[in-house]
Amino acid sequence: MAWARFDNTGYIYYNEKTSKIFCTDSTHADLFDYVAEDLSLLTKLLGKYVSNKIDTTTFTFKDFPSTDDTLSEIEQLLMAAHPYYIYESTNVIINAIGNYFNNLLAYSSLHLKTLSRDCTLDKNWYIDRITVLLSPLLQAGDTYQEDFYYKYQKWINPKEYRIEESFITDIPTKMPIAFAEELKTQNMIYDMLYFILDISNQNLESLTLPQRAWVYENIFLSEKTSVKRQFSFLPLKQYIDDATNSQISFSHNEGANNLEESNKIFDILRNIKNTDIRHKGIPKNMMNAFKYATDYAKKNAPDKISEQYEINNLYQLLYLEIISMIQSNILIRKCKNCGKYFLIKNRNVTYCDRRDSSDMPCSAIGPKRSFQKKMEQDEALKIYTRAYKTHHARFRKGKMSLNEFGTWCKEAKANLIKARNEELDISVFQEWLKE
């Protein structure tokens, strides 16, 4: 089971089974990187992995090599897409293999009819094949093989469920694709960002964010997301400390400078629940510990209650993240240089502050590239810029006065406009600039 906890600083993701956490802050950079990632290679890689082990037409076994790096490639691609996959990639890959295998069976037996449905429902036949596909990922005690078998049986067995074959829903009519759910999740999250938060969507700019969300829901009829919610009075930082088996630590001048002392303080305070505090107040022997706790709360307690949600997949996590962005009235746009989303406070800002391999931010690279591209497409601007540099050099060397340079600039800009509007021949404009 995993949980995500949200407050005004972002959220943390906590997997109770593995005690692993990742955090995201109020920049939402992980979300924006995720929707910009190309996940199409996942389909090719998993399709290759499955077809190397079994024939996807006859479902007979193949003589596949003992070592295969394809699953490692898939894992690396997932982990690069979003931190969620760093902790959940194994489960995600297992589900992708199982769902792909089930869809291949349904496609072959119910649509192409090249495979007997009764054959695919034979438990031993099914388990043998899916075990071969899942074996590199399985641990002792895993029951994924049977789980996928019963899921498949429930889907396409009309005898057991007393329905006609014509009423079996969602039979693939095209060759199934691997990782369909992950690709679908990315598309849905991308659509949510564009329709609800992206200011470049001019058709919705007159609406509030909740109104835009309403339009999105009614157009896409998106899947309703039900999650279990809890509330917590602990700040996210303390929750991270708790999850990594540490406790609140006080600074030296607060009298508790190590883990053992801070634990003793709260061991004492937890005995308050056994006293009649409402009538007798704080017991004297607890007052010092209580003062430490209240002093700490003044400096470290959160301004608002955080919310914790049970998370079963990446879609739920990112859906909740976008909901938190809507509630915070956050607006976004794509950077004109790198093409990724970023938060905006000023609608006139069109470049983000992400840095490239040379450590230059898009806000510095973008305008320069844009101007160079504009010059390549604008012959009049190109020759004007060249002449401007020449005259500016003359001015710096004292060969032109400030008034002369200013007059030239004014006339050159006026002629540039004429040349762009085809009111002045480009060759005439070029000759004038040489004068």
The model's pLDDT over 238-248, given as tens digits with 9 standing for 90+, comes to 555 554 443 33
* Residue 358, token pair as written in the block: 């040379």
pTM: 0.73
Neighbours of 415 (CB within 10 A): 18
Q: Is the pLDDT at 177 greater than 70, yes or no?
A: yes
Q: Is the pLDDT at 33 greater than 50, yes or no?
A: yes
Q: What is the pLDDT of residue 330?
A: 92
The model's pLDDT over 391-406, given as tens digits with 9 standing for 90+, comes to 888 888 888 888 888 8
Cα four-point dihedral sign 132, 136, 139, 142? negative
CA atoms within 13 A on the CB side of 286: 18
DSSP 142-191: --HHHHHHHHHHHHH-HHHHT--GGG-----SS---TTHHHHHHHHHHHH
The model's pLDDT over 91-135, given as tens digits with 9 standing for 90+, comes to 999 999 999 999 999 999 989 999 998 899 999 999 999 999 999
DSSP 223: P
Going from N- to C-terminal start, the domains of the chain cover 40-178, 242-300, 378-434
Mean pLDDT, residues 145-173 taken together: 77
Q: What is the pLDDT of residue 256?
A: 40
Q: What is the pLDDT of residue 224?
A: 64
pLDDT bucket at 263, cuts 50 / 70 / 90: low
Q: Is the pLDDT at 161 greater than 60, yes or no?
A: no
Q: Is the pLDDT at 34 greater than 50, yes or no?
A: yes
The model's pLDDT over 61-92, given as tens digits with 9 standing for 90+, comes to 998 776 679 999 999 999 999 999 999 999 99
Mean pLDDT, residues 265-292 taken together: 81
Q: Is the pLDDT at 370 greater than 70, yes or no?
A: no
